[in-house]
Amino acid sequence: MDSGKLGQIYSVHVRQTHDAGCQGTLFSGFYHPLENGGGAMNDMGYKAAHILWNLLGMPKEVSCSTQYISPLSREWKAEESAVAVYSYENGTVAVAESGWMTPKYQCTLDVFGTRGCVTARDSLITYRIGEEGWKTVSEKDFPAAKPYPLNYWIENIQNDRPDVYYGVDEAMDVTRMIMAAYRAAAQTQKL
């Protein structure tokens, strides 16, 4: 995206889902609003919003829709599926989809620009620029992964070293994105 080869970015879609809700393997604390603070959007949606924040920064507005599928979800009002649509100052529209009811784990990213697009499905990344055909990025060409944030945070505390990957401002911005999506979902108007 930074190189400009995709042209003007106009749409981004991130999907972060797993099957623990439909498999019945989530412990009840995930559904409890005081223990988890929300449902699938607070869990998987945070990951999707974090990807959007890294690619696009802070949005200017959000709309959101949530679903309560299982009896436990409806009882505790913890959504098992959510779609947040973020709009940005430059006109880009981004979708953060999260859920616990997908038959398998899915991590997908689609970035669409005026000259090309990139699609990532788990560890398969393909792209197309202009009239060129689709190309695949080999895993050996992936940049080194950052450490998992929670483990990294604990290791930094244990070893008294500074955080060079993640920051409080970043965490606060992504939390603001999630909280704004929850407020938007609560204000959804029925037609």
Q: Look at residue 4 and give its three-state secondary structure.
A: coil
What is the spatial distance between Cα 42 and Cα 31, in angstroms, rounded to a whole number? 11
Beta strands (DSSP E) in the chain are 9-17, 61-67, 81-87, 93-99, 106-113, 116-121, 124-129, 135-137
What is the spatial distance between Cα 32 and Cα 157, in angstroms, rounded to a whole number? 29
For 160: left if phi > 0, alpha if psi spans -120 to 50, otherwise beta; the answer is left
**Residue 191: what residue type?**
L
**Residue 21: what residue type?**
G
Mean pLDDT by 10 residues, the chain (191 residues): 91 93 78 83 93 96 94 88 97 96 89 96 91 89 83 91 85 95 87 65
pLDDT at site 191? 65
- Output the six-digit token pair for 159: 């070893």
Nearest one of 94, 83, 84 to 56, comparing CA atoms: 94
Contact yes or no for 126/94 (Cβ under 8 A): no
Provide the whole-model pTM.
0.89
Residue-wise DSSP of 71-123: HHHHHHT--SEEEEEEE-TTS-EEEEEEES-SSS-EEEEEEEESSEEEEEETT
pLDDT at site 25? 80
- Output the six-digit token pair for 126: 């393909």
What is the spatial distance between Cα 186 and Cα 33, in angstroms, rounded to a whole number? 15
Strands 9-17 and 93-99: parallel
What is the spatial distance between Cα 145 and Cα 174, in angstroms, rounded to a whole number? 20
